[in-house]
């Protein structure tokens, strides 16, 4: 069921883009708790002239124009947990989500509102939910829309464009066994979990075979390990994430890990396959031109993490890039901040890209 709010503007609404971003940062919105920010954006975007709706999973969807071609600017409202006091210091705005990814989403909103409706083009700005958890928001869009071009809102740096992301596979390992004395020769559940982890890392090392470029390496990470003991049984739970390079078959990898389980129960999360977009697409070329027009030296990036590009790219099969202001090295850190000059530069680039997309026959 959709909730809809429309504020027909009496001329274009005046907007302070720095205020928009700051107010977004002041609303704490970890994954699953985006409701307050969604309500704020629904109201704010309505006043900026968007036709705004909220869908059944909580995504905020703002539309400008009604042309036959559609450009979707797909950002996300959620952040990882951890409150960072919002403050402005030396032209840098600090706050959770400044980089990942409220800064890019705010840039989408500002740029689209500044450009306004264009003949022949529908611009749809989406603030999706739960990108940091399960990409629930992006998955809910797959069957509803079929855009002609997509920009994913993730930090690339204003003069750079991201065209590829590694995939990911999450695994939860659980093992229970009768408690035994430490002098016994039977491995504890903790030792058996460590043996499983060592098997995973050895497999990755063999797969990588000295490869230095991180985009092509299989990278396991141990996110959590917890043991419990009630005096009769002991239990261990371990959570892993594997970053998947192109060429790794997730089914083969799962089967290999099952062979090492040794009585443990493995639970696999959804697979996000690696995805690489075409860097010579008309959309990518528009970004290169727009960055050069702002005095930048554009380049392409391939990221070792994942984004909603991994979800929508294989389904929509249209020109797609990820773009947004900010240094992705600050993602999820206690020092997360965004340089406001970079924020303004990214907005100008996006304005040029939106106008350029309206002039393309096939974006």
What's phi and psi for 296, nearest 5 deg?
-90, 165
CB count in 10 Å sphere of residue 295: 8
Backbone angles phi, psi at 119, to 5 degrees: -60, 135
Considering 78, 100, 154, 352, which one is annotated as catalytic? Answer: 78
Give φ, ψ of 327 to 5 degrees: -95, 115
Peptide bond into 361 cis (omega under 30): no
Helices (H), the chain: 17-25, 35-47, 102-115, 136-141, 189-208, 250-259, 282-293, 309-316, 340-358
DSSP β-bridge partners for residue 151: 73, 321
Active-site hit among 34, 70, 131, 351: 131
131 is catalytic: yes
Bridge partners (DSSP) of residue 5 are 52
* H or E stretch at 253: helix 250-259
Does the annotation mark 336 as catalytic?
no
Q: Which residues are catalytic?
A: 78, 131
């Amino acid at each position: 069921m959709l909730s809809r709010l429309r504020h027909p503007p009496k001329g274009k609404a005046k907007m302070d883009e720095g205020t928009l971003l700051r107010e977004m940062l002041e609303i704490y919105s970890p994954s699953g708790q985006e409701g307050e920010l969604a309500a704020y954006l629904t109201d704010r975007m309505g006043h900026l002239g968007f036709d705004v709706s909220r869908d059944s999973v909580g995504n905020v969807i703002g539309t400008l124009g009604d042309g036959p071609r559609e450009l979707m600017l797909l950002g996300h409202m959620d952040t990882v947990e951890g409150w960072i006091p919002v403050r402005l210091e030396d032209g840098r705005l600090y706050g959770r989500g400044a980089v990942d990814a409220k800064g890019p989403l705010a840039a989408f909103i500002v740029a689209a509102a500044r450009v306004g409706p264009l003949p022949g083009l529908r611009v749809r700005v989406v603030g999706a939910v739960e990108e940091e958890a399960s990409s629930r928001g992006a998955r809910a869009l797959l069957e509803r829309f079929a855009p002609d071009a997509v920009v994913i809102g993730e930090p690339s740096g204003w003069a750079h464009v991201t065209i590829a992301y590694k995939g990911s596979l999450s695994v939860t390992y659980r093992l229970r066994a009768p408690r035994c004395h430490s002098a016994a020769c039977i491995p504890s559940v903790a030792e058996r979990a460590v043996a499983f982890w060592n098997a995973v890392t050895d497999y990755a090392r063999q797969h990588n075979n000295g490869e230095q470029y991180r985009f092509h390496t299989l990278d396991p990470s141990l996110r959590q390990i917890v043991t419990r003991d009630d005096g009769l049984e002991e239990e261990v739970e371990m959570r892993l994430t594997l970053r998947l390079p192109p060429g790794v078959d997730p089914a083969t990898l799962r089967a290999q890990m099952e062979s090492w389980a040794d009585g443990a129960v493995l639970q696999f999360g959804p697979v996000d396959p690696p995805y690489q977009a075409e860097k010579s697409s008309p959309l990518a070329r528009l970004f290169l031109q727009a960055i050069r027009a702002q005095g930048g030296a554009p380049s392409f990036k391939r990221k070792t993490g994942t984004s909603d590009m991994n979800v929508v790219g294989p389904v929509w099969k249209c020109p797609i890039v990820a773009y947004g202001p900010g240094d992705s090295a600050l993602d999820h850190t206690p020092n997360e901040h965004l340089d406001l000059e970079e924020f303004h530069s990214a907005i100008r680039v996006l304005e040029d890209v939106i106008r350029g997309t309206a002039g393309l026959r096939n974006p």
